[in-house]
Amino acid sequence: MQKVILIDDEAPARQLLREYLTRHPELVVVGEANNGVDAVRLIKELRPELIFLDVQMPGLTGLEVLTHLDELPLIIFATAFDQYALKAFELHAVDYLLKPYTRERFDAAISHLNKRLHQPQEAVLQLTQAMMDEKEKNAYPGKILVAKGNKLVAVNVADIQYISAEGDYSSLITSGQRLLSQHGIGQIETKLDPQFFLRIHRSTIININYVKEVFREGHIYDVRMQNGNTVRVSRSYAQKVKEIIF
């Protein structure tokens, strides 16, 4: 039997971990914490073999929790933030679950745990490769935060139909709203998956999933988006449009 503590400030996230752990009766949950301070106290008191650890939490972050421990248990990070993966492996984490994760991905993490217990060095090598593959697959964000008044609005990147430059800023146009980003269009372009987002003008990027039709007159192309707006392709970017014509 391995004692387990679940550490996450969101109750549904802890409940999901409990549900997925039902397939692994050898792992017994002995405590839960919804903030970093309680997490430190529970770990020192119950001395679990394994903890599931979120990163962003009230009180202390997940990484700060670890600095308050004399001995580290085995750690599986479960978080929505992928930028801490490298630090996690410096701490010899068993795995790094990026929310939202599936039951299959969770079971794979438990498989890594079992390998770590029986073949530590081989498990570390396999886990490092798995994380490199997963990071490459998730190189582009699926959701971003954009300022709107005095708050930040979550936007699914797949919902962005096109982006237009507004001086040093950029407008992100979805089916229902136009949001102003404080980043320039060139900076935004580097963060978008080129498989779907196509620069057609120095001031315009389109999501090809929302292209309705393209009009051509000689060497001039005009792209009509599904929302009815038409954007012109500049000559310097016309070749990119030609490359997706079959």
State the residue range of the domain holding 17.
2-137
- The token pair at 153 is 């609005």
Of 137, 171, 198, the residue at which a domain comes to its end is 137
- Domain match, 113 and 16 both: yes
- Residues 133 and 11 placed together within one structural domain of the fold: yes
Please state the domain count of the chain.
2
Residue 173: predicted pLDDT: 92
CATH number, residue 17: 3.40.50.2300
Domain's final residue, options 88, 117, 137:
137
101 and 20 co-located in one domain: yes
Report residue 245: phi and psi, to 5°.
-90, 125
pLDDT digits (tens, 9 = 90+) for 237-246: 888 888 887 7
Question: What are 53's strand-pairing partners?
Answer: 7, 77
What's phi and psi for 179, nearest 5 deg? -115, 145
Tokens 């146009």 appear where? 173
Q: What is the CATH number of the domain that holds 155?
A: 2.40.50.1020
Predicted local confidence at residue 131, as pLDDT: 54
Residues 42 and 133 in one domain: yes
User: Region 27-43: what's the mean pLDDT?
Assistant: 95
What is the overall mean pLDDT for the chain? Answer: 85
d(CA 163, CA 171): 6
- For residue 244 the two structure tokens come to 């997706």
Say whether both 203 and 112 belong to one domain: no
Q: Is 217 helix (H, G, I), strand (E, B) or coil?
A: strand
Whole-number Å distance between alpha carbons of 172 and 182: 11
Q: What is the mean pLDDT of residues 10-17?
A: 95
| pTM exceeds cut of 0.75 | no
The token pair that represents 208 in the structure block: 């090809």
Same domain? 147 vs 190: yes
Last residue of a domain, one of 137, 172, 189: 137
Q: Are 10 and 35 in contact (CB under 8 A)?
A: no
Least confident segment among 10-14, 110-114, 146-150 = 146-150
Q: Is residue 15 domain-shared with residue 104, that is, in the same domain?
A: yes
Per residue in 81-139, pLDDT (tens digit) is 777 777 776 667 889 998 889 999 999 999 988 887 765 444 444 555 555 555 555 56
Q: Quick one: 92 and 149 in the same domain?
A: no
Q: What is the mean pLDDT of residues 69-91?
A: 80
For the segment 229-237, the average pLDDT, to the nearest whole number, is 89
90 plus 196 within the same structural domain: no
- For residues 29 and 114, state if they share a domain: yes
Residue scoring higher pLDDT (206 or 237): 206
Determine the pLDDT at residue 123.
Answer: 43
Lowest-confidence pick of 54-58, 79-83, 180-184, 222-226 = 79-83
Residue 16 confidence class, pLDDT cut points 50, 70, 90 = very high
Tally of helices (H runs) and strands (E runs) in the chain? 8, 15
- Judged by average pLDDT, the poorest of 4-8, 17-21, 71-75, 128-132 is 128-132
H helices within the chain, ranges in order? 11-21, 36-46, 62-67, 85-90, 103-118, 120-137, 185-189, 238-242
158-174 pLDDT, tens digit per residue, is 999 999 998 888 999 99
Q: Say what the pLDDT of residue 235 is.
A: 87
| DSSP letter for each residue of 94-149 | SEEEESS--HHHHHHHHHHHHHHHH-HHHHHHHHHHHHHHHHHHT-S-SEEEEEET
Q: Does 122 lie in the same domain as 190? A: no
Q: Are residues 178 and 128 in the same domain?
A: no
